[in-house]
Structure 1
Amino acid sequence: MSTPEASAAAVHDGLPGGIGVSRLRVYDWPSADGLRGGTPHVHLTCSEGYAVTGGRGAVQTLTASGFEQTPLTPGALVWFTPGVIHRLVNDGDLTITVLMQNCGLPEAGDAVLTLPPRLLADTATYRAAVALPEGGSEEELERAARHRRDLALEGFAVLREAVEAGDPEPLAAFHRAAGALVRPFVGAWRERWRTGAAAAANATGAQLDRLERGDAGHLARARIRAERPSARGRFGMCGRLDVYETG
Structure 2
Amino acid sequence: MVSLPHPLPGAVGLSHLSAYDWEAADGVCGGSPHLHLVCTEAYVVTGGRGAVQTLSPDGYRETPLQAGAVAWFTPGTVHRMVQGGGLRITVLMQNSGLPEAGDAVFTFPPSYLDDPERYAAAAALPAVSGPEAETAALRRRDLAVEGYLVLRRALEAGDNGPYLAFQRAAARLVRAKVPAWRELWRAGALATAERTGAQLDALEAGEPGYLAGSDMYAAAPTRLGGYGMCGRRDEYALPGTTLPVPDA
Question: Does residue 1:130 correspond to 2:127, yes or no?
Answer: no
- Match of residue 142, structure 1, among 129, 134, 143: 134
Question: Does residue 1:224 correspond to 2:216, yes or no?
Answer: yes
State the one-letter code of the partner of 1:42. Answer: L
Q: TM-score, normalised by structure 2?
A: 0.92
Q: Is the 8 A contact 2:13 2:98 kept in 1?
A: no
CA RMSD of aligned residues (A): 1.5
Q: CA-to-partner distance for each residue in 1:91-144, whole Å, 9 max, x for gaps? A: 101000110001142232100000000000132111011111136x61111111
Q: Is the 8 A contact 1:63 1:85 kept in 2?
A: yes
State the one-letter code of the partner of 2:217. Answer: R
- Match of residue 144, structure 2, among 141, 147, 152: 152
Partner of 1:174: 166
Partner of 2:198: 206
Count of matched residue pairs = 237
Q: CA-to-partner distance for each residue in 1:19-77, whole Å, 9 max, x for gaps? A: 01111111001111111110100000110011101110000000111111100000001
SS in 1 for 2:27: coil
Q: CA-to-partner distance for each residue in 1:185-232, whole Å, 9 max, x for gaps? A: 000000011101111111111111111111111111111111111211
Partner of 2:233: 241
Distance 1:56 1:63, change over 3 A: same
1:56-71 aligned at under 5 Å gives the runs 56-71=49-64
Q: Is the 8 A contact 2:225 2:233 kept in 1?
A: yes
SS in 2 for 1:60: strand
Question: Does residue 1:119 correspond to 2:112, yes or no?
Answer: yes
Identity in percent: 58
Partner of 2:67: 74
Alpha-carbon distance between aligned partners in 2 of 1:196 and 1:107, rounded to the nearest angstrom: 15
SS in 2 for 1:185: helix
State the one-letter code of the partner of 1:183. Answer: R
Which residues of structure 2 form unaligned runs of 5+? 241-248
State the one-letter code of the partner of 2:70. Answer: L
Q: Is the 8 A contact 1:102 1:197 kept in 2?
A: yes
- Match of residue 194, structure 1, among 186, 195, 218: 186
Q: Is the 8 A contact 1:37 1:90 kept in 2?
A: yes
Alpha-carbon distance between aligned partners in 2 of 1:12 and 1:197, rounded to the nearest angstrom: 12
SS in 2 for 1:237: coil
Q: Is the 8 A contact 2:44 2:91 kept in 1?
A: yes
Alpha-carbon distance between aligned partners in 2 of 1:91 and 1:188, rounded to the nearest angstrom: 37
Partner of 1:5: none
Partner of 1:85: 78
Distance 1:12 1:210, change over 3 A: farther
Partner of 1:3: none
- Match of residue 98, structure 2, among 105, 116, 135: 105
SS in 1 for 2:96: coil
Alpha-carbon distance between aligned partners in 1 of 2:45 and 2:97, rounded to the nearest angstrom: 22
Question: CA offset at residue 12 of structure 1?
Answer: 6.0
